[in-house]
Each structure stands twice: as C-alpha cells, then as structure tokens.
Amino acid sequence: MTAVARAIDHVGVTVPNIEDATKFLVEAFGAEVIFAMDSHRDVSDPAVLAQEQAKLGTRPGARWTRTLVLRLGEGPSIELFEYDDSERLPPPTPSDLGIQHFGLYVDDIERAAESVVAAGGRRLDGPTLLPALESGEGNMWLYTVAPWGGIIELVSYPSPQEYEQHTEVRRWRPPAAQ
C-alpha cells in the first residue's frame, strides 16, 4: 500500500505570547521566521466565532489572534499560535493525553541545552542514554522546558540504533548523521 502521508510538514504549538516564543526559538535554536498571519475577522460577530470554533475545534469563546511560522533546521516547520482564551489550560505533561512534546535533533545536546537556558528556558535532568532499541554509542536525549511551559526534547543518535537490526524501515536522520 502506498503511504498516504509523505512527511511531517509542521508542528503547531499554542503559546501565550508569539513575540516571546519566537525570540526564544530564534535564540535557543536559530529558528528563522517564514511568515506571520494576524486575524482580521470581525470577532464581535457570533457567526464568525462559531465558524472559527467549527474549523479549529476550539472552546466556545476562544479566539485565534495570530500565527507565525518558523523554519527550524532541516525538519518540519514550527507553527506558533496565539489565542485569546480565558479558560486556557496549562501545557500538557508527558503523562497527559495528546501531543505533549516535540523533539529536535541536535548534534551537541549540552550546547543545545545551554542555548535553551540562555534563551529563558530550563533543562530537566539528563542527558540520558537512549534505551533498548534506540541505543548506540553517544545516542541520548534530554527534555527541556520552554518559557511558556512546553516540553522540547533534544535528541541525538550519531550511532546506528539497535532497532536497525530488526527492520529495514528507518527513522529520519540528518544527512551528516547517516
């Protein structure tokens, strides 16, 4: 069967303030702004809000205000969203349902973690060697936390991984790490 999806195009992340989140991603990871979109809809019109809710799956009363798309290295884009929502929930933790982090391949986890901290984020314990089927010399990961509370995993696997002995299917690797 032919694959329906070709690749991950982008990861959407809702942030409390687009300027602050963009500054963090630029300073920590060298992200580049591609484009921004602002809402120019008449949000005082209940029909407009109902249509937005139907398209986006947001809570009643939540209003999309802005989006900014960034390029981050060789992978998918990051699409930042800002909403006006009085019932906003805190960022998910790894034990919550749904998407709870995104991972960035880095060549040097310690250097990347230092950039995260310098840009206003924080690092959690680690780095930790990748376990079991992801193991290999120098293969490791580290969770970091963005200023708005979202989790960003730093991962590096410069060596072949154990799973490669059991299947022909391979995960994405940056060209220099293949």
The whole-number pLDDT of residue 3 equals 66
Domain containing residue 138 = 90-178
Are 177 and 157 in contact by the 8 Å Cβ rule? The answer is yes
Contacts for 161-167 with beta carbons within 8 Å, 24 or more apart?
161/130, 161/133, 161/134, 161/135, 161/136, 162/132, 162/133, 162/134, 162/135, 162/136, 163/133, 163/134, 166/133
* Domain stop point among 58, 87, 116: 87
Residues 114 and 98 in one domain: yes
CA distances in angstroms from 112 to 89, 97, 118, 143, listed in the order given: 28, 27, 10, 11
* Domain stop point among 68, 87, 106: 87
Token pair for 6: 């070709």
- pTM confidence score: 0.86
Residues 60 and 135 in one domain: no
* Domain stop point among 62, 87, 112: 87
pLDDT tens, position by position, 58-74: 888 888 889 999 999 88
The whole-number pLDDT of residue 7 equals 75
- Average pLDDT score over residue span 88-115: 91
Token pair for 114: 């230092």
Residue 42: exposure state from Cβ atoms within 10 A (0-12, 13-18, ≥19): exposed
pLDDT tens, position by position, 37-58: 887 777 678 888 888 888 888 8
The Cα–Cα gap between 48 and 113 comes to 42
Sequential DSSP letters for 115-168: HHHHTT-EE-S--EEPPGGG--TT-EEEEEE-TTS-EEEEEE--SPPGGGGT-S
Token pair for 71: 């390029």
Amino acid at residue number 76? P
pLDDT higher than threshold 80 for residue 146: yes
Token pair for 29: 């990871």
Residues 81 and 119 in one domain: no
The whole-number pLDDT of residue 1 equals 59
Residues 82 and 116 in one domain: no
* Total domains, the chain: 2
Are 38 and 128 in contact by the 8 Å Cβ rule? The answer is no
